[in-house]
Copies of this chain bind each other. A is one copy, B any other.
Amino acid sequence: MSHTTATARTGQTADRASLLRSSLSTRATAVEAAIDRLLPPVPGAEGRVIDAMRYATLGGGKRLRGYLTAEIASLFDVDDARSYRVAASVEMLHAYSLVHDDLPAMDDDDLRRGQPSTHRKFDEATAILAGDALQTMAFEILADEATHSDAAIRIRLVAALAAASGAAGMVGGQMIDMEGEGRSLSLPEVERLHALKTGCLIRYAAEAGAILGQADLTVRARIAAYGRDLGAAFQIADDVLDATASAEELGKTAGKDQAAGKSTYVALLGVDGAAREARRVAEQAEAHLDIFGPEADRLRDLIRYVVDRRS
């Protein structure tokens, strides 16, 4: 490889990384704006639960799930107004799961993204209700005609979100996680836990873009597989981060999984082994995109971003 080519490639890589950062930031702002529009403050006693819902959803964050939905929908030229509604609804579903996971009876977390978790900022009852209402609202948005004029597409989104979220998805994963505390899980058990707990919803976020875009079933399956593997890589990288980053970098309590006696990829494979496994799954995720050309480059770069992030 000549010196010029190497420089050009490095330059290109740097350009692409900066393009991704700018795309992430633009879409995160648009997702935030959509949530703000869908969830306006209201006066009265029930305004408190709305305030808590806004607090839980408008506090920033990477918006990985919303990004996936909007970016993938854009591959199919879906109207922005529609894709950001769906992106907002998946972020609401995600926020509900965080609010409930942070509760004293669950993970008992005081901090979320460097800020007091919802039950610390408000109170436990309000946090339970805000989580409940965020879940409802995610489905309500999908059912609304503004999301898509075709009822068949809306109901496909509802069905896919419900499948990703319930006892056979996210909630089931959270249950396995709690049951597994204090005993050692095997690697396949840890993989299954995370596939349910975080993988299902990330996979859904990707698939939702393809559903909105009316992608054919083969393409939809590829995108779902990309989302699934991206989610797995994300989770393994998360375990590595939890073991190596500081609380300041993370914006949440560091080393907490280990302290809670949770079985992690790091506990099973060591830091280096877990980092290697993250890269292996990342390559697998990228392979699902080979049906696309350069239009999917941001989705390719997103994989590296997810594996290499420091927070």
Establish whether residues B167 and A49, one from each chain, have CB atoms under 8 Å apart when the complex forms: yes
Q: Which residues of B contact A168 (CB under 8 A)?
A: 46
Q: Which of A70-113 contact B (CB under 8 A)?
A: 96, 100, 103, 105-106
Establish whether residues B133 and A106, one from each chain, have CB atoms under 8 Å apart when the complex forms: no
Q: Which residues of B contact A196 (CB under 8 A)?
A: 46
Residue A154 interfacial (CB < 8 Å): yes
Q: Chain A interface: which size bin?
A: 35 or more
Establish whether residues B144 and A159, one from each chain, have CB atoms under 8 Å apart when the complex forms: yes
- Cα A135 to Cα B126 in complex, Å, equals 17
Name A133's contact: one of B96, B123, B166 (CB within 8 Å). B166
Residue A50 interfacial (CB < 8 Å): yes
Residue A140 interfacial (CB < 8 Å): yes
Residue A132 interfacial (CB < 8 Å): yes
Establish whether residues A175 and B49, one from each chain, have CB atoms under 8 Å apart when the complex forms: yes
Of the stretches A176-184, A216-224, A242-250, the one at the interface is A176-184
Establish whether residues B167 and A143, one from each chain, have CB atoms under 8 Å apart when the complex forms: no
Q: Which residues of B contact A53 (CB under 8 A)?
A: 167
Q: Which residues of B contact A123 (CB under 8 A)?
A: 105
User: What 0/1 pattern do residues 115 to 154 of A give for CB contact below 8 A with B?
Assistant: 0000000011110110111011101101110000001101
Establish whether residues A172 and B46, one from each chain, have CB atoms under 8 Å apart when the complex forms: yes
Establish whether residues B133 and A105, one from each chain, have CB atoms under 8 Å apart when the complex forms: no
Establish whether residues B45 and A176, one from each chain, have CB atoms under 8 Å apart when the complex forms: yes
Known A-B contacts A133-B166, A174-B129; A143 and B124 likewise in contact (beta carbons under 8 Å): no
Q: Which residues of B contact A154 (CB under 8 A)?
A: 151, 155
User: What 0/1 pattern do residues 230 to 242 of A give for CB contact below 8 A with B?
Assistant: 0000000000000
Known A-B contacts A140-B159, A158-B158; A171 and B133 likewise in contact (beta carbons under 8 Å): yes
Residue A310 interfacial (CB < 8 Å): no
Residue A163 interfacial (CB < 8 Å): yes
Q: Which residues of B contact A131 (CB under 8 A)?
A: 132
Q: Which of A40-64 contact B (CB under 8 A)?
A: 44-46, 48-50, 53
Q: Which residues of B contact A139 (CB under 8 A)?
A: 139, 158, 162
Known A-B contacts A128-B100, A162-B143; A167 and B46 likewise in contact (beta carbons under 8 Å): yes
- Cα A171 to Cα B135 in complex, Å, equals 11
Known A-B contacts A124-B105, A132-B135, A152-B151; A143 and B159 likewise in contact (beta carbons under 8 Å): yes
Establish whether residues A100 and B132, one from each chain, have CB atoms under 8 Å apart when the complex forms: yes
- Cα A215 to Cα B19 in complex, Å, equals 53
Q: Which residues of B contact A180 (CB under 8 A)?
A: 45
Establish whether residues B155 and A151, one from each chain, have CB atoms under 8 Å apart when the complex forms: yes
- Cα A162 to Cα B138 in complex, Å, equals 9
Q: A45-B179, A105-B128, A144-B159 are in contact. List 5 more A-B contacts (CB 8 A).
A: A45-B180, A96-B132, A133-B172, A136-B171, A140-B159
Give the 4 A-B CB pairs with smallest separation, nearest first.
Answer: A140-B162, A46-B172, A105-B124, A136-B166
